[in-house]
Amino acid sequence: MKANVEIPKGAIMQRGGKVLGVKPRTPLGMMGADELERMAAVIRRFEIPYVKLTSGQRFLLSGLPPEDMEAARGMLGDMAGFTPHYVQACPGTDVCEFGLRDSMEVGRRLEELLVSLDLPAKVKAGVSGCPRCCGESMVRDLGLVGRRSGWTLVFGGNAGIAPRVGDVLADKLSDEEALDLAARVLHIYIDKAPKKIRTARFVERMGLDALKRECGL
């Protein structure tokens, strides 16, 4: 069955090969009443049996028959957009008593950057407003960790089959400096990484010193 089903972009074939999963777009894990109501309407109308909040701060709606996919996407509206790259961010100085940096605003701008780029492979980013690292920044392709002295930027982290803690490229960065360095290292990744090679393997191949030189550090 699985081989005969055309999987729409942004959908995930589920175990058994008969139903799809879809992850509505939730930038930085944020949702308002309108988004929650739209998602609830889709769950009720199509009787989706399995709804789970993922580790990446996104909802997985699993159990959608392929023939209902387009109708569900229509109901979700702009939440149905395909996003291979995403930013996981903690609340930062918005609400957290431990927040040292504005992780939500920097995370929003970082997501805009990721969406604008044609990257070789999926990129997961983490933005944490303090060293407690609730955004899991150290094990993300690109991570920012907030400290009193500024942002620390790490690159090449991975929490998958072959875990890797990201390498520190620079610290004591302002918001603008952090976003500028993020853009520089991502463009180097675009220029030099083969297709489908994630950042962890790219850094291992290139070497940290060589990457820093390319970044002008």
For residue range 7-52, what is the model confidence (pLDDT) as tens digits?
666 677 777 777 778 888 888 888 899 999 999 999 999 999 989 9
Q: Is the per-residue pLDDT at 107 higher than 80?
A: yes
Place of tokens 């180097």: 188
pLDDT tens-digit readout, 77-97: 888 876 667 899 999 999 999
Question: pLDDT digit string (tens) for 146-186?
Answer: 999 999 999 999 998 889 999 999 999 999 999 999 999 99
For position 27, what pLDDT does the model report?
Answer: 85
Output the pLDDT for position 173.
Answer: 98
Which H or E run includes 5?
none
Query: With contact defined as beta carbons under 8 Å apart, do 103 and 135 qualify?
Result: yes
Which domains, ranges and CATH numbers included, belong to the chain? Answer: 2-80 (3.30.70.3340), 86-215 (3.30.413.10)
**Spatial contact of 133 and 117, defined as CB atoms under 8 Å apart:** no
Q: What is the mean pLDDT of the chain?
A: 91
Is it the case that residue 4 has pLDDT exceeding 60? no
Q: How many CB atoms lie within 10 A of CB 170?
A: 18
Q: In Å, what is the CA distance from 171 to each residue of 69, 144, 156, 174?
A: 44, 9, 16, 9
Q: Residue 55 and residue 37: Cα distance in Å, rounded?
A: 22
Contact in structure between 105 and 53 (CB atoms under 8 Å): no
Looking at residues 50-77, what average pLDDT do you find?
A: 86
